[in-house]
Amino acid sequence: MVKRELAGVWGVGWAIAQSHLRFGFNIYDYEWDALVILDACRVDALRQVANEFDFLDTIGSKWSRGSTSKEWLDNTFVEKHRSKVAQTAYVTANSFARKLQWDKLDRLDYVLCSGSTLASSNFLEGLVKSDQLSASDFLYFDSLWDRMVGESSHHEIHPKVVTDRAIDAGRNTDCDRLIVHYMQPHHPFIYKDQLDDLHQNPFQYLDSQDARNKVWNAYIENLRFVLDYVSTLLDNLNAKKVVITSDHGELFGKYLKTHPVGVMHPNLRKVPWTTATATDNKTHQTDKYNIDDSLKEKEIKDRLADLGYL
């Protein structure tokens, strides 16, 4: 109880402060035609595999707007950049992005604050700067996580689905900018068809160096897995300047294991930043997918649990 309330004090206080101070860079402060987000990708992880992919050059780094996806979303798509967002197509498999479609944005709905008294305070929520934009402010908004229906496990976050939808958006919308938000290398580590518990719940296996190495190796394999699809994307999209980056990193520590809001550790807050080019050589024909805007609450909760948010 006390631990939960203390977490709420930190999380709520940080959410209020960050909405006004906006620590970290905003993607719209830079010029790009397409932006690829590799969710929870650390700088050192991308550097580790960079020489395996021709499109990865020098991997720089920048301080992110968030240490969680929600913090990044809430402080990136804001009123200051309304005109640029209005010309942006956003294809995303991120679970928090679906909330941009809600009539009322819950600005204190952070995992760290869950169940705390302060997180339910209307007064404190009113102290958060209310300049966040919503899904309707984008030229094109495609949230896959809560709408994608399929037979395979984790289809809603599979990088092939994201790649196909992004290629279609690039070919069929008149956007000035395209954002493609993959969920990898974030767990679950779905590069394997059959997941064991380490791949599904990796942060339960960080108490020893040997176990941590196994988790790190699985995380790196998940990164390689998504980068193969990024390669396909870059060969089927016209974009003179493509930025490859992340919303936040990951900690993998014994005590701080994941990516809680308001943590300034560089492994979490610094994200990779590298550029590439893309040309639509039409080497890939996209598949069509079933979309359902009325998924049952139980299925949504199951998907949240798979990502470790419940």
- pLDDT at position 258 is 60
Exposure on the CB side of residue 251, measured as CA atoms within 13 A:
17
Exposure on the CB side of residue 93, measured as CA atoms within 13 A:
31
**In whole angstroms, what is the distance from residue 106 CA to residue 120 CA?**
10
Q: Is the pLDDT of residue 306 over 80?
A: no
- pLDDT 10s digits, 85-94: 999 999 999 9
Whether pTM > 0.85 for this model: the answer is: yes
Q: Is the pLDDT of residue 303 over 60?
A: no
**In whole angstroms, what is the distance from residue 178 CA to residue 87 CA?**
9
Domain map (residue ranges) of the chain = 24-112+131-306
- Indicate the range of 7-11, 35-39, 109-113, 240-244 predicted with least confidence: 109-113
Query: Within a 10 A sphere around the Cβ of 239, how many other Cβ atoms?
Result: 21
The answer to whether the CB of 185 falls within 8 A of the CB of 246 is no
Q: Is the pLDDT of residue 217 over 50?
A: yes
Higher pLDDT, 180 or 291: 180
The answer to whether the CB of 250 falls within 8 A of the CB of 40 is yes
Query: Within a 10 A sphere around the Cβ of 213, how many other Cβ atoms?
Result: 10
What percentage of residues in the chain have a pLDDT greater than 90? 62
Q: Is the pLDDT of residue 221 over 90?
A: yes
- pLDDT 10s digits, 271-286: 999 999 999 999 999 9
Q: Is the pLDDT of residue 309 over 50?
A: no
CATH of domain 24-112+131-306: 3.40.720
Q: What secondary structure does DSSP assign to 206-264, as a single string?
A: -SSHHHHHHHHHHHHHHHHHHHHHHHHHHTS--EEEEEEE-S------SSS-S--TT--
Q: Is the pLDDT of residue 249 over 80?
A: yes
Compute the average pLDDT of residues 81-87: 99
